[in-house]
Amino acid sequence: DAMVIQNPRYQVTQFGKPVTLSCSQTLNHNVMYWYQQKSSQAPKLLFHYYDKDFNNEADTPDNFQSRRPNTSFCFLDIRSPGLGDAAMYLCATSRGTVRDSRHNEQFFGPGTRLTVL
């Protein structure tokens, strides 16, 4: 089945120790997104890639970076995690082809729960 995969599902890191979360997709979608979700809140968009074009949200801290080496993979790097960065991190994809009426539908992975000690 076509899907969005996130690894690991649970990640524990120490305060200030860099961490990388990964996402892969078999949907062959053009757009990949990274969201941060804190308890009982809606997901908050950090940034997204349209193909290789990187789009950062204005309020995303510089501590968060992303890489998309190819269509299938996207990485979230947190350079110096703080206690406030503990959250669920969600990856999502969408077709992004405007002539397709379903291009805005986003499909989410299962998420990575990050704990910062």
Partner 1 sequence: GQQLNQSPQSMFIQEGEDVSMNCTSSSIFNTWLWYKQDPGEGPVLLIALYKAGELTSNGRLTAQFGITRKDSFLNISASIPSDVGIYFCAGTGTASKLTFGTGTRLQVTL
**28 near partner 1, rule: CB under 8 A:** no
Smallest gap from residue 104 Cβ to partner 1 (A): 4
Contacts made by residues 59-64, CB under 8 angstroms, sequence distance 24+: 64/34
C-alpha separations of 43 from 1, 39, 70, 89 in Å? 25, 10, 25, 9
Residues between 90 and 109 with contacts to partner 1, criterion CB under 8 A? 90, 92, 94, 96, 101-109
Cβ nearer to partner 1, comparing 40 with 70:
40
**86 near partner 1, rule: CB under 8 A:** no
Task: Give the one residue of 13, 72, 86, 113 binding partner 1; rule: CB under 8 A.
Answer: 113
- Establish whether the linkage from the previous residue to 43 is cis, with ω within 30° of 0: no
The site that binds partner 1 (CB under 8 A) totals a number of residues, namely 29
Q: What are the residues binding partner 1 (CB under 8 A)?
A: 4, 6, 31, 40-45, 48, 57, 59, 88, 90, 92, 94, 96, 101-111, 113
